[in-house]
Chains A and B, each alone.
Chain A
Amino acid sequence: GAGVSQSPSNKVTEKGKDVELRCDPISGHTALYWYRQSLGQGLEFLIYFQGNSAPDKSGLPSDRFSAERTGGSVSTLTIQRTQQEDSAVYLCASSPIFSGTSGSKQYFGPGTRLTVT
């Protein structure tokens, strides 16, 4: 079966413009996560979805960032009024129903490289 896919793979935008990043998780995976990796940094958690609801948005850096998930599948991360510090690789991951005894093996997409000029 197909893995996690993300689009676009690369996005260059001007400062102040809005961008939308898309994630298609593995079919049947109920949990979906967004992370970002800035240059030279580790992966930073942004938001978690269980089904269509987002019980944890604690990693979103500002109110310019929002995300939604529809039909328990596709998710869109939106960044409004982009700033240069938003430049990073945005990664999406999905996992099956989380079992507290087995930890959380997440499957990652290839990422979207966002460059804000």
Chain B
Amino acid sequence: DQQVKQNSPSLSVQEGRISILNCDYTNSMFDYFLWYKKYPAEGPTFLISISSIKDKNEDGRFTVFLNKSAKHLSLHIVPSQPGDSAVYFCAASFNAGGTSYGKLTFGQGTILTVHP
């Protein structure tokens, strides 16, 4: 049962344009969402997160949008740069009776390629 899904295995964009990466989830208990970026042979690095009480969070070129009714989130990168080329994972976690332990459920990842 894939609770977090990234349906696009890859995305290719031109430098300077917008990159939009999408993620869907099925578990309505999830209340915290994160995006991680991963380069080859490295561990994932945290990019940006959003709590379910918000619908948007922005950090520089990166913005995450959350649509709770659709159980959908997206990451926008504007403008895209060649150095953004990496695998992007969305992840989700939830509180369980106030004693959550932060276990992350990940999507399969989307390979972003930004062409100069």
Interface string of B35-57 (1 = CB under 8 A from A): 01000011111100101000000
In the complex, chain A residues whose CB is within 8 Å of the CB of B98: 100
User: Does B85 have its Cβ within 8 Å of any Cβ on chain A?
Assistant: no
User: Does B89 have its Cβ within 8 Å of any Cβ on chain A?
Assistant: yes
State whether A103 touches B93 (Cβ < 8 A).
yes
Q: How far is the CB of B31 from chain A (nearest CB, A)?
A: 8
Q: How large is the interface on A (under 10, 10 to 19, 20 to 34, 35 or more residues)?
A: 20 to 34
Q: Which of B11-19, B62-70, B72-80, B99-107 is found at the contact surface with chain A?
A: B99-107
User: Does A50 have its Cβ within 8 Å of any Cβ on chain B?
Assistant: yes
In the complex, chain A residues whose CB is within 8 Å of the CB of B108: 40-42
In the complex, chain B residues whose CB is within 8 Å of the CB of A109: 43
State whether A50 touches B101 (Cβ < 8 A).
yes
Known contacts being A100-B100, A103-B51, A103-B93, is A45 close to B43, with CB within 8 Å? no
Known contacts being A42-B4, A42-B109, is A104 close to B43, with CB within 8 Å? no
Q: How many A-B residue pairs have CB under 8 A?
A: 75
Known contacts being A103-B93, A106-B46, is A98 close to B104, with CB within 8 Å? no
Q: How far is the CB of A54 from chain B (nearest CB, A)?
A: 10
In the complex, chain B residues whose CB is within 8 Å of the CB of A31: 101-102
Q: How far is the CB of B29 from chain A (nearest CB, A)?
A: 13
User: Does A75 have its Cβ within 8 Å of any Cβ on chain B?
Assistant: no
Docked CA distance A115–B90 (Å): 26
In the complex, chain A residues whose CB is within 8 Å of the CB of B32: 103-104
When A and B form their complex, which 6 residue pairs have the shortest distance between CB atoms, in order from nearest? A104-B102, A108-B43, A103-B32, A42-B106, A43-B106, A42-B108
**23 interchain pairs, CB-CB under 8 A:** A4-B43, A33-B103, A40-B108, A42-B6, A42-B108, A45-B105, A91-B43, A91-B44, A98-B101, A100-B95, A100-B98, A100-B99, A103-B34, A103-B93, A103-B102, A104-B34, A104-B101, A106-B102, A108-B44, A110-B41, A110-B42, A111-B42, A111-B43
